[in-house]
Structure 1
């Protein structure tokens, strides 16, 4: 089984040979669980930073411009 490349839609294309014939394949990449976990962790940290920044401004009596 050999991956040849990635098409314009982002799918992996390639070919493989069984005992009688060559076959082509098209595969959709799926993120690994570790990648999704890391993305979720980073998104959570960014959300906490925004919440903490807003609360800090309220404690110091600083009003945000759009309020």
Structure 2
């Protein structure tokens, strides 16, 4: 489980900025690609939808973060 909701937002923000590439996201976060995948899986669980397999999810998340001023 993610330590805080902010960790989930940080992970998603880095993932989107890295154009959804796990190695680049991991590098930005300073963690391994498997740890990055685990974080994204935890975000998926919290949201109740796939991020890694649903292209529309990344667009919706990008819009949501922009609306919050977080991207």
TM-score by length of 2: 0.25
Larger Rg: 1
Choose between structure 1 and 2 for higher RCO, CA contacts under 8 A separated by at least 6 residues: 2
Tell me which protein shows more strand as a share of its residues. 1
Which TM-score applies when normalising by structure 1? 0.26
Which protein has the bigger helix share?
2
